[in-house]
Amino acid sequence: MTPTPAPAAALRSDATALDAVAALLGPGPGEAGAGATRTYVVIPSPRAPRYILPVAGRHARGARLRPAARASREVLNRLVIGPALRVGAGHLLPGKLRVPDGTAAGPGLRRHLATLLGQDDVDLAVALGAPRPNRKPVIQVIGADGSTVAWVKVGVDPHTDALVAHEIDALRHHVPAAPVVAPEVLASGEWQGHPLLALGHLPMTEATGDLPLTAAAAQALAGPLTDEGATTGRWWKQLRATADETDPGGPLDRLLDRLEETLGDRVWRFGTWHGDLAPWNATWEGDRLHVWDWERAGGPVPLGLDVVHNRFQVAMLRDGADLAAARSEIARRELPTLSALGYDEDEAPLVVTAYLATLRARYALDERLGPLGPGSRIAAAIDADPTIGAGGPA
């Protein structure tokens, strides 16, 4: 396969994703035939690429397969793929991808990262996930001893370019307070015209089980707080602007109409949020919360939305819960934490609804770029429920 520049949005479809990743891993045009060729295995198959992993035993042993929400995928990862890589039998797995490594003068991505990170002997394990608008390679740089040298993100189109650039900015300028720990920025730059971010490895115990989130952690994520009118401040104006931009009079607009009446003249505390806090993006290591994947960080948003997102994503993506049941359960279960953050008891359902409006606004922007993947079911459920945002119980 001779890599050529990947077209925008090529990773949003499994039909074109593998060619796009091969182009990204290889050297630039005119250098594709130079240098040795490296072999990778595509998991679970070239038709549905989720991982692209090295087959050489000493690097393959260190490849990390993230916990899968689907039980069948988790069994495959842990009982078949993981053991095969650890014993150096990755070459026996079907579905190979061969990528030119380039030369010192015209390097492929592996060579480029080795130079950037000051490591001579590294290989790459690439995680892609399911097709969705923000799909891009998340690359584990693995040393000869199987240790993780760095984690790297590379944009592949204007949308993901913006996400990677935003994460670079967030991690350079927003240092969370204890107990939250963010990864160190090792390097940033460009690859094939797209932003590239290399992060230090955080000790992590990834899981899909529950992640307990304390009020202290939520406050650390939020940073400095401001008091703003819930329906007159910057958060609300941004939601309304998104609705006007994406679908005036549509489901998001109608949700906001209901919510505006319910929130009334409340004044809440606002800060930043991680934007995608969940058990697969954070882990407690002792008394420190190690958090990665900061590309959605921003604000201002109502204090505590990270608390709701953490529970909501597990309920909907892992457990397949009904939206109405998830809303009421999260309001009940997180009431002590939200109370510790300063909310009255009757405001917990409103914070959950504020989160749903914020999430739906994100989806409204993303769905213009293509199918939302796992988020499609959530967006449809929010749109179909006319009680969201209305007065009364969650």
Residue 206 lies in a domain: no
Regions of the chain short of the pLDDT cut 50? 1-5, 71-72, 74-75, 79, 393
Let me know whether 269 and 327 are in one domain. yes
Let me know whether 238 and 377 are in one domain. yes
CB 156 within 8 A of CB 11: yes
Let me know whether 249 and 134 are in one domain. no
Let me know whether 185 and 283 are in one domain. no
CATH number of the domain bearing residue 362 = 3.90.1200
Examine the fold and report which residue of 199, 230, 249 is the final residue of a domain before the chain moves on: 199
Question: How many domains does one find in the chain?
Answer: 2
Q: Which pTM was predicted? A: 0.89
Q: Sheet containing 185-191: give its strands across.
A: 96-100, 37-45, 48-54, 122-127, 138-143, 148-154, 194-199, 185-191
Residue 393 lies in a domain: no
Let me know whether 231 and 144 are in one domain. no
Let me know whether 194 and 256 are in one domain. no
Note the pLDDT of residue 71.
Answer: 47
CB 348 within 8 A of CB 238: no
- Kindly tell me the burial class for residue 336, based on how many C-beta atoms sit within 10 Å of its own C-beta (0-12, 13-18, 19 or more): exposed
Residue 373 lies in a domain: yes
CB 32 within 8 A of CB 26: yes
For residue 137, cis peptide bond before it (omega within 30 degrees of 0): no
Residue 123 belongs to what H/E stretch?
strand 122-127
Examine the fold and report which residue of 141, 172, 199 is the final residue of a domain before the chain moves on: 199
pLDDT, tens only, 249-301? 999 999 999 999 999 999 999 999 999 999 999 999 999 999 999 999 999 99
Exposure pattern of 20-53 as b/e (b: 16+ CB <10 Å)?
Answer: bbbbbbbbbeebbebbeebebbbbbebeebbbbb
Closest by alpha carbon to 9, among 156, 176, 207? Answer: 156
Residue 1 lies in a domain: no
In 10 A of CB 150, how many CB atoms? 23
Note the pLDDT of residue 75.
Answer: 45
Note the pLDDT of residue 33.
Answer: 55
Residue 392 lies in a domain: no
Examine the fold and report which residue of 138, 164, 199 is the final residue of a domain before the chain moves on: 199
Let me know whether 220 and 137 are in one domain. no
Let me know whether 29 and 140 are in one domain. yes
Residue 339 belongs to what H/E stretch?
helix 335-340
CA dist 163 and 155 (Å) reads 8
Residue 369 belongs to what H/E stretch?
none
Q: Which residues pair with 54 in a beta bridge?
A: 40
Note the pLDDT of residue 348.
Answer: 97
Residue 26 lies in a domain: yes
Structural domain for 293, as ranges: 215-384
Q: Give the tokens for residue 152.
A: 């790297």
Closest by alpha carbon to 141, among 116, 172, 173? Answer: 116
DSSP string over 97-118: EEEE-B-SSSB-HHHHHHHHHT
Let me know whether 41 and 173 are in one domain. yes
CA dist 44 and 350 (Å) reads 41
Structural Rg of the chain based on CA atoms = 22
Let me know whether 312 and 193 are in one domain. no
